[in-house]
Amino acid sequence: MTVKTRFQDETIFALSTASGRAGVAVIRLSGPSAHAAACALSRAKNLPARQATLRKLQHNQEVIDEALLLYFPGPHSFTGEDVVELQCHGSHAVIESISSALLDLGLQQAKAGEFTRRAVENGRMDLTEAEGLMDLIDAQTSGQRRQALRQMGGVLRETYEGWRNGLLDALAQVEGEIDFADEADVPDALSHAAWPHLEQVASDITAALARAECGRAVRTGIDIAIIGAPNAGKSTLLNQLVGRDVAITSHQAGTTRDIVEVHMVIAGMPVTLADTAGLRDTHDDIEAEGVRRALAKAKDAHLRIILHRDGKTNAPTQDGDIVLKNVEGVINNNEINALTGYGVDDLLRQLETIIRDRFTGAEPAGLTRARHTECARRALAATQSAQNHLGLAPELVSEDIRTALRAIDELAGRSDIEEVFDRIFSQFCVGK
């Protein structure tokens, strides 16, 4: 679906590579005057489409640089408009001179994310694919890269298009009863034929929402809390896992008062390990606050490592927890010793297995952002409302289905949600 862009008369440019001293820099132009501006700089009558051309760039009778020019005519370009890329030398002086020349030619400096925004508004990608592109640019681990590539490739789009098609099939059945209620050849309660479609859509959205936490965890990072009684070896274990002394260790109970966090990569996923205060009843106000924060951290964490000392801990266990007993002892039933590091490699391998099973694998990219989840929840609520109204009032069912479709359109970026676009694309780097 192509949206009429607000910028159709403006031509923009920006540095698309990182600023600073470099061998090569890429300056991107997009808009109706992109080709003419590039020809003016290069003194060329025309640029061949999709062929690299080596030309001297000149302005005000002065040679600025020698660069490769690539011209991509719209609509078959990244933005859907005429696009030119100038591959010049990456010095500050060259970039500033080319930018000044482009401003003199009437081009505008691009805002953050404006190239990608134009691609969305011109129908070259949907909003979820644009968000996948941003996640790919920001990816710091292989797991994040894989998920971002799947989303940028349209996996989430395929998912919500399946929901959309199911809703449209249901709507066709309901509208048939509304429009042809008096026709003899239209069976009674035709809208009941919509039930299987609504049931399938509701089931599919419910399943996607159940997996949403995994997608968000891959994108933002997996939180692992180390909790247990005082002197159970939590800080020592943290130091062993990360391979350096980041937390203070002592035989004195209650040494850790606040949360100590360390970032690392496990199984290709970004992980934040958190050392927490020992869990016990205390009359010390500061230590009590540390215990409160530890319990809150444990509640919000994706995984928890629970350390027992003398078989006791104040921490309840749940599915996915790793329970280690007597970790300060010599070698216990879990075959780990936090003081010597014996068994820590096995613990890391256990964490890798859990993370791969729960957060990675071949599962397609799903609802990776709070925005995705909110839209999906509204679509599910409207679909379930349609199910409840089925057989009572076809008009209400029809409106429920249209409400669900509007939520899906917002997920895709098809609806007029200017403030959402502004918020999302402002997070992009300039030049993308």
- pLDDT at residue 292 is higher than 70: yes
Identical fold for domains 12-125 and 134-217+369-412, yes or no, is no
126: phi > 0 → left, psi -120 to 50 → alpha, else beta; which?
A: beta
Name the CATH superfamily housing domain 134-217+369-412.
tRNA modification GTPase MnmE domain 2 (1.20.120.430)
- Read off the pLDDT of residues 219-262 as tens digits, 9 standing for 90 and up: 888 899 988 888 777 888 888 888 877 776 666 666 667 788 89
- pLDDT at residue 48 is higher than 90: yes
Domain ranges of the chain: 12-125, 134-217+369-412, 229-359
What is the band of 424 on the pLDDT scale with cuts at 50, 70, 90?
Answer: low
CATH of region 229-359, choose from 3.40.50.300, 3.90.1150.10, 3.20.20.140, 3.40.50.620: 3.40.50.300
- pLDDT at residue 325 is higher than 60: no
This prediction has a pTM of 0.73
First to last CA, the chain: 21
C-alpha of 36 from chain center: 37
d(CA 343, CA 332): 10
Asked whether 258 and 234 are in contact (CB, 8 A), the reply is no
d(CA 397, CA 387): 7
pLDDT for position 38: 96
Annotated binding site for (6S)-5-formyl-5,6,7,8-tetrahydrofolate: 28, 85, 124, 432
pLDDT for position 140: 87
| Residues constituting the chain | 432
pLDDT higher for 265 or 189?
Answer: 265
Q: What is the mean pLDDT of the chain?
A: 83
Q: 12-125, which class in CATH?
A: alpha beta
182: which 2 tokens?
């008096």
pLDDT for position 327: 41
- pLDDT at residue 178 is higher than 90: no
- pLDDT at residue 335 is higher than 50: no
Asked whether 236 and 339 are in contact (CB, 8 A), the reply is yes
Annotated binding site: 28, 85, 124, 231-236, 250-256, 275-278, 432
207: which 2 tokens?
């399943």
* Best CA proximity match to 302, nearest among 412, 224, 383, 404: 224
Asked whether 324 and 239 are in contact (CB, 8 A), the reply is no
d(CA 379, CA 400): 9
Of 69-73, 91-95, 101-105, 248-252, minimum mean pLDDT range: 248-252
What average pLDDT does the segment 372-390 reach? 94
Annotated binding site for Mg(2+): 235, 256
- pLDDT at residue 400 is higher than 50: yes
* Best CA proximity match to 393, nearest among 170, 193, 169, 189: 189
What is the band of 71 on the pLDDT scale with cuts at 50, 70, 90?
Answer: very high
Annotated binding site for GTP: 231-236, 250-256, 275-278
- In degrees, rounded to 5, the angle at the alpha carbon of residue 180 between the alpha carbons of residues 383 and 379 is 10
115: which 2 tokens?
């190239």
- pLDDT at residue 326 is higher than 50: no
